[in-house]
Structure 1
Amino acid sequence: MMREGQQRVMQGTGTQVFKVIVEDRYDGERMDKVLSESIADVSRGLARKVIDFGGVFIDGKRIRRCDFAVRPGQTIEMFLDGRKYQAYSLSQQDIVYRDDYLLVINKPAGTETQPTPSRFKGTLYHVVLQYLQQDRTKGVRPDVGMVQRLDRDTSGLILFSINQRSHKGLTQMFRDRKVEKYYLAIVSGEVRQGGTFDSLLARRRRDNRTLSVERGGKRAITHYQPIGVHAGCSLVGIRLETGRSHQIRAHFSEAGYPLVGDVRYGYVDKPGSGQAKRHLLHSASLALRHPMTDIPLHCQVEPPADFAYFWQKACGSQVDWGNVLQQLVRS
């Protein structure tokens, strides 16, 4: 008789988690077979995809081999996030800057920065490791230091340390707020004046949302300046003094200006405004002194097509994004 795996949903993420205890009759069987026969509506093909992407764990360890031979009593957990199994691969045009110590990438929206329970393959961490594999022939061991993170649906610049010698220095620069981080966001509502949000932020576990609290949170400082206002929404330039999870999204939502497309933080589509398939937030500029050479480093990238299209539709005309980026760093 088929035994269906126990199911639960991870709080605040919507990810389904299936738990299977391997029965005696499956001793030595392939993991993909056991999953497809133990969990309703999970075909062997789907099981193979989930395993390949890193969404299956045995006794707490991620296993990415479909032919892995299971043993009775082992606990298998399968994580399904409901998204397509299409892996992002790093192209040369995504690389904004590279030397022996630092790597700056223009991250596309829809790509996870770091591995999740559902995925390892196709995350930015994974593709950077793959990219650095080519240096092995030069005797350089790939070593990725993650000092910055972007939400899955945020596009734009993200900085990695790729050498052990630069990890500590770059991490300290972020802690000391010596890295200037500028963003562009399209928000719902008319932002007519600039200002600063300064609050304590904490994560609410039941829905995985970040919000301001009176005590117990971490201080978050967000400086902002309007760049344009059209059709009931605003293009805003943002400078982060801190880098808390969901900081920009939470601050603007609480001020009554949720990011366009950010349903989790209160955005509601307005008739005639057009629809956004993600929150419209873009990491547009990074400025710092190189942790090894002390030479100034400044990277900028224009927003991607979906962001640009939405704002140009709101304006009713073409937008000079080069000029927008200049305004951003002056704000």
Structure 2
Amino acid sequence: MSLNQQIVSRVPLNMEGQRLDQAVANLYPQYSRSQIQKWIKAGCVLVDDKILKPKERLIGGEELTLNTVHEPQTEFEPEDIPLNIVYEDDDIIIINKPAGLVVHPGAGNWSGTLVNGLLHHDRSLEMLPRAGIVHRLDKDTTGLMVVAKTLDAHSKLVEQLQERDVSREYLALVAAPVVAGTTIEGNIGRHHIDRKRQAVHDGGKEAITHYRVEERFPHHTLLRVSLETGRTHQIRVHLSWKHMPIVGDQTYGGRPRVPAGVREELRTAIQTFPRQALHATKLGLTHPATGEAMAWEAPVPEDMGALLALFREAAPRES
């Protein structure tokens, strides 16, 4: 059994000169590049009603028709993984993801992921790309995610993300005293040397992060961060770039920063916090079936809450 769907869009003028396979991958990030290559070679992608080769260049403005064919995902096994489901109906699932849970199977993590858990929760999700997942959170970032349950919902949610109509707010504890909020703009792409990391450089994709001060401590700040774009590791990269690394971020934060005079209990907590102190606390979107504006909020998880409690307890003594 397979599911078919036709998606028609217009190639943006700023994609002039891009190869067909690159343009389709940029327009439809919900699909893997290997899947897109298969569809192009099978004639499922039409440019002004013509079949082109993957390497052919576009001029921008063409009508792009993508005839998707979805086969059941049989490479990933359903697993009984506990899911903290905040909301569910016939079209979407809202999940509060815990720390340590990888979202999608990949090298070194072929089982025990959110995808495996979703397939156990609802086997029909095997018909959707990435089991209905439309955006990711890093393994050790906690908080709210939306999962689509139908192809139509999936397509509309991806479109909302591309149009920047999905609101996402995070709480981030950074190792720096921040005076006021502002906007960070800096293109993000793969690091030139360490390919597992991201970095700010001119060759990257546009990335915009807004933040404001939520709570101040003598040497640290709790920030409320909102995303205008959704690049890999965006918040972690941008904050580190602006010399505000997230507490516990071993990839972008370097060695833990512990100011002199900090109480021993707090010092130990900062040095041993096992992950980046980053939590997706708010999620807002338009329901893909009803058109209703919906929003959810998840409080910080226990580990981050305990860390913040130590900061609040110690703050008067450090002032």
Per the normalisation by structure 1, the TM-score is 0.65
Of residues 264-273 and 304-313 in structure 1, the stretch that sits farther from structure 2 once superposed is 264-273
CA contact (8 A) 2:103 2:113 kept: yes
The size of the alignment, in residue pairs, is 228
Give the percent of matched residue pairs that are identical in Structure 1 and Structure 2: 33
Q: CA deviation at 1:90?
A: 2.1
Aligned counterpart in structure 2 of residue 230 of structure 1, from 201, 211, 217: 217
Which residue identity is paired with 1:211?
Answer: A
Provide the rounded CA distance (Å) in 2 between the counterparts of 1:209 and 1:111. 19
Q: CA deviation at 1:307?
A: 0.5
Q: CA deviation at 1:223?
A: 0.2
Instruction: Report whether the alignment pairs 1:256 with 2:243.
Output: yes
Question: Residues 63 and 172 of structure 1: is their aligned pair in 2 closer, same or farther, counting only changes over 3 Å?
Answer: closer
Partner of residue 128, structure 1: 118
Aligned counterpart in structure 2 of residue 277 of structure 1, from 274, 280, 294: 274
Instruction: Report whether the alignment pairs 1:113 with 2:98.
Output: no
Of residues 241-250 and 165-174 in structure 1, the stretch that sits farther from structure 2 once superposed is 165-174
Question: Residues 280 and 141 of structure 1: is their aligned pair in 2 closer, same or farther, counting only changes over 3 Å?
Answer: closer
Aligned counterpart in structure 1 of residue 86 of structure 2, from 68, 93, 96: 96
Q: Larger C-alpha radius of gyration, 1 or 2?
A: 1
CA contact (8 A) 2:103 2:136 kept: yes
Aligned counterpart in structure 2 of residue 189 of structure 1, from 176, 189, 194: 176
Aligned residue for 1:316, secondary structure, equals: helix
Provide the rounded CA distance (Å) in 2 between the counterparts of 1:289 and 1:63. 30
Instruction: Report whether the alignment pairs 1:151 with 2:138.
Output: yes
Instruction: Report whether the alignment pairs 1:302 with 2:299.
Output: yes
Partner of residue 16, structure 1: none
Provide the rounded CA distance (Å) in 2 between the counterparts of 1:218 and 1:225. 23
Partner of residue 210, structure 1: 198
Provide the rounded CA distance (Å) in 1 between the counterparts of 2:75 and 2:112. 15
Question: Residues 145 and 63 of structure 1: is their aligned pair in 2 closer, same or farther, counting only changes over 3 Å?
Answer: closer
Provide the rounded CA distance (Å) in 1 between the counterparts of 2:113 and 2:252. 24
Partner of residue 159, structure 2: 172
Partner of residue 314, structure 1: 311
Which residue identity is paired with 2:306?
Answer: Y
CA contact (8 A) 1:155 1:304 kept: yes
Question: Residues 88 and 185 of structure 1: is their aligned pair in 2 closer, same or farther, counting only changes over 3 Å?
Answer: farther
Aligned residue for 2:112, secondary structure, equals: coil
Provide the rounded CA distance (Å) in 1 between the counterparts of 2:191 and 2:133. 24
Question: Residues 253 and 141 of structure 1: is their aligned pair in 2 closer, same or farther, counting only changes over 3 Å?
Answer: closer
Provide the rounded CA distance (Å) in 2 between the counterparts of 1:252 and 1:168. 31
Provide the rounded CA distance (Å) in 2 between the counterparts of 1:307 and 1:183. 13
Provide the rounded CA distance (Å) in 2 between the counterparts of 1:307 and 1:103. 24
Q: CA deviation at 1:192?
A: 1.3
Which residue identity is paired with 1:132?
Answer: D
CA-to-aligned-CA distance 1:9-61 (integer Å, 9 cap, x gap)? xxxxxxxxxxxxxxxxxxxxxxxxxxxxxxxxxxxxxxxxxxxxxxxxxxxx9
Which residue identity is paired with 1:151?
Answer: D
Alignment of 1:62-81 (within 5 A): none
Partner of residue 43, structure 2: none
Q: CA deviation at 1:62?
A: 6.5
CA contact (8 A) 1:203 1:209 kept: yes
Q: CA deviation at 1:268?
A: 2.4
Which residue identity is paired with 2:180?
Answer: Q
User: What RMSD in Å do the two structures reach over aligned CA positions?
Assistant: 2.3
Provide the rounded CA distance (Å) in 2 between the counterparts of 1:181 and 1:239. 6
**Structure 1 unaligned spans of 5+:** 1-60, 65-86, 319-331
Partner of residue 13, structure 1: none
Question: Residues 147 and 316 of structure 1: is their aligned pair in 2 closer, same or farther, counting only changes over 3 Å?
Answer: same
Question: Residues 88 and 109 of structure 1: is their aligned pair in 2 closer, same or farther, counting only changes over 3 Å?
Answer: farther
Q: CA deviation at 1:267?
A: 3.6
Aligned residue for 2:111, secondary structure, equals: coil
Per the normalisation by structure 2, the TM-score is 0.67
**Structure 2 unaligned spans of 5+:** 1-73, 259-263
Question: Residues 141 and 259 of structure 1: is their aligned pair in 2 closer, same or farther, counting only changes over 3 Å?
Answer: closer
Which residue identity is paired with 2:213?
Answer: P
